[in-house]
Amino acid sequence: MLDDPELAKEILKSWDTESWTGLTADEQDLMSSKNGLPLWRILHQFPKEIKGIIGYWARQMLEGMSHLTDDAYPPKFKQHDGIQILGDYQDYHQYCYIVAGTVGNLATDLAILHYNLSKSVADPLLRYSQACGQGCRKPTSSRISVKMYPGEFVTCPTNG
């Protein structure tokens, strides 16, 4: 869709029928054919290198998310009082990589490109990029876990 925003038109049209439970009204609007297509047209105008970075990390995130309901792939989930929770800390870590570590990698790659950073500056940033993204996600999940299920790893949406 980054290479041809008109492909987004059909995909977004099919998404118009989705309920998008858990998204805000603004997030739902961006997923619609009416309001989402202008965004894809803007993204299409980005330079090739930027689209390549965005495309690569978006695919990594989507691939990871596509496996969340497949028991053959980590992370593993278990049921606790009728709520699906992450199985253990390693599962929690893997989940945070999928939903946030990839964003840390994306932001780091874009910063390196934008500022034309040397290898000596870029290497430490790349080393910690996943931790940065995951670190932004984990405090929210951890706070919920401690309040609801001490000793368990829970992830659920919050407003801050």
* 84-142 residue pLDDT tens: 888 888 888 888 888 888 888 999 999 999 999 999 999 999 988 877 766 665 555 54
Domain encompassing residue 56: 48-160
11/80 same-domain check: no
Residue 66 contacts by C-beta under 8 Å, 6 or more apart in sequence?
none
51 is written with which tokens? 């689209």
Q: What is the pTM of this model?
A: 0.74
Q: How many domains does the chain have?
A: 2
28 is written with which tokens? 């739902």
The chain-wide mean pLDDT, for the chain, equals 81
43-47 LR contacts (CB < 8 Å, sep 24+): 43/2, 43/5, 44/2, 44/3, 44/4, 44/5, 46/2
44 is written with which tokens? 């299409």
74/38 same-domain check: no
CA gap 24, 120 in Å, rounded: 41
pLDDT at 22: 80
25/91 same-domain check: no
